[in-house]
Amino acid sequence: MRIPVLIVSGPVGVGKSSVAHEMFDQLIDRDIAHAVIDLDAFGISWPYAEGDPYNERMALRNLASVWANYAEAGIDRAIIARVVEAEADLAAYAEAIPGAEIVVCRLVAEDEVLRERVRRREAGSSYEGLVRRSVELAASLEQSGPTDFVVETSGRELAEIALEVLTKAGWISG
């Protein structure tokens, strides 16, 4: 069975989760069955496995378990919010969601916008590291991140961004 999977990738603070949740609302308005999975939450556990600094393996194991429940309920497409740094990483997503036909949207924003969004969101001890990681990721993803299409988020309304992503992914017509 073919399962459309739209991965919303990009650096910390670019708006992956917010855009995914807005797409959820827009797809509900069109009565399109789907699941939105914010994969970061699936990897929040300690200790991390050796050699897995972002707990990616745990998040993907949890994705496979949760996807089985969605599939059993008749859900036939998924939006996943998560940074995907390399083309090779997509194989694990395809393994977690059998039949996945993966499309990657990379969200982008100006560095200053990323810094400001992280500043507004992170008040704790993670702030400095996340700001550094955000700018590093933006540059790294530009060079080597898997990308089927790019959507700019700086200075734009959430509904407009989500509509563009869904349209470019071919899930809806603009």
- pLDDT tens-digit series, residues 28-55: 999 999 999 999 999 999 999 999 988 9
Q: Looking at residue 128, which CATH number applies to its domain?
A: 3.40.50.300
Confidence of residue 1 (pLDDT cuts 50, 70, 90): confident
- Indicate whether 10 belongs to any domain: yes
- Indicate whether 173 belongs to any domain: no
Closest CA to 5 of 144, 106, 98: 98
Longest C-alpha distance within the chain, in Å?
45
- Indicate whether 135 belongs to any domain: yes
* Higher pLDDT, residue 145 or 61: 61
Domain encompassing residue 117: 3-166
- Indicate whether 174 belongs to any domain: no
| pLDDT, tens digit, 9 for 90 and up, residues 100-155 | 999 999 999 998 888 888 877 766 667 677 777 887 888 888 888 899 999 999 99
Q: Hey, which residues does 8 pair with through a beta bridge?
A: 81, 105
Q: What is the mean pLDDT of residues 66-93?
A: 96
Report CA-CA distances (Å) from 154 to 6, 38, 165. 21, 21, 14
Sign of the dihedral through C-alpha 83, 89, 93, 94: positive
